[in-house]
Amino acid sequence: MINLDAAAFDSKIADNKVVVLDVRTPDEYTESHIANSINIDVLSDYFTADISALDKGCTYAIYCRSGKRSTDAASIMKEFGFTSTFNLTGGN
């Protein structure tokens, strides 16, 4: 996992090959989210099952409200074999 500030994160997600992953709750996602992001709640009982269905070869830019849940999500994803993850420090 590589931590990025907001400007670097924006640059990273400008690449259409990067999958933007919002790890907040569905309610938070409904309120607002980054366009074209995928919502997988890191606090959900199904998080590991949901990420297991993702392509481990892709690059993921992960964010939440404060940066803590996205850090946790990136750590879990690393344990599951994801090698290219970027975390938005400070959240969105």
Q: What is the pLDDT of residues 14-73, one digit of tens each?
A: 999 999 999 999 999 999 999 999 999 999 999 999 999 999 999 999 999 999 999 999
pLDDT tens per residue, range 60-71:
999 999 999 999
Q: Which long-range contacts (CB under 8 A, 24 or more apart) does 69-72 make?
A: 69/23, 69/24, 69/42, 69/43, 70/23, 70/42, 71/1, 71/3, 72/23, 72/42
pLDDT for the residue 92:
74
What CATH number does residue 33 fall under? 3.40.250.10
- How many domains, in total, are found in the chain? 1
Domain that includes residue 73, residue range: 2-88
Q: How confident is the model at residue 91 (pLDDT cuts 50, 70, 90)?
A: confident
pLDDT for the residue 41:
98
Q: How confident is the model at residue 90 (pLDDT cuts 50, 70, 90)?
A: confident
- Would you say residue 86 has pLDDT above 80? yes
